Structure 1
Amino acid sequence: MDAFYASVEQLDHPEWRGKPLVVGGNEARGVVAAASYEARKYGIHSAMSSALAAKKCPHLIFARPRFERYKEISLQIREIFYEYTDLVEPLSLDEAFLDVTENKVNLKSAILIARQIREKIKEKTGLNASAGVSYNKFLAKTASDLNKPNGQAVILPEEAEAFLEKLPIGKFFGIGKVTAEKMQQLGIHNGLDLKQYSLQFLTKKFGKSGLHYFNIVRGIHLSEVQPHRVRKSLSAENTFEKDLITLPELEENLHPIFEEVIRRIEKSGIKGRTVTLKIKHSDFTLQTRSKTVEQYPDSETIWKIGLELLHQQEIPKPVRLLGLGISNLNITEEQVHFGEQLNIPFEESKDHYPKK
Structure 2
Amino acid sequence: MICVALLFSTAALKAPKSDGMKNELIFTAQWQTGLFKPGDDVGALNPHVYRPEEFAVNDLVYEGLTAWDNTSPGVDGVFDTDDDFVTGALATSWVTNYDAVKADPALPYWIKFSLRKGVTFHDGQPWNAAAAVANFNHVVGTAARARKGFHDWYGLVFAMSSWEEVSEYEFKVTFSHYYSAAERELSQIRPFRMISPMQLPDIDSEGLSCTETFKNWGSYKCVGIKAPYGTGPYKIAAKRLANAATGASRLLPAQNFSAVCGVRDKARFTVCEYGPNETVSELIFEKFADYTPTPTIVMPTFDKAIMRAYPDHGAVKAALEDGSLDMAYGLSTLSPS
Q: Same fold (TM over 0.5)?
A: no
Length-normalised TM-score, structure 2: 0.24
Higher helix proportion, which one? 1
Length-normalised TM-score, structure 1: 0.23
RCO (CA 8 Å, sep 6+): is it higher in 1 or 2? Answer: 2
Higher Rg of the two aligned structures: 1
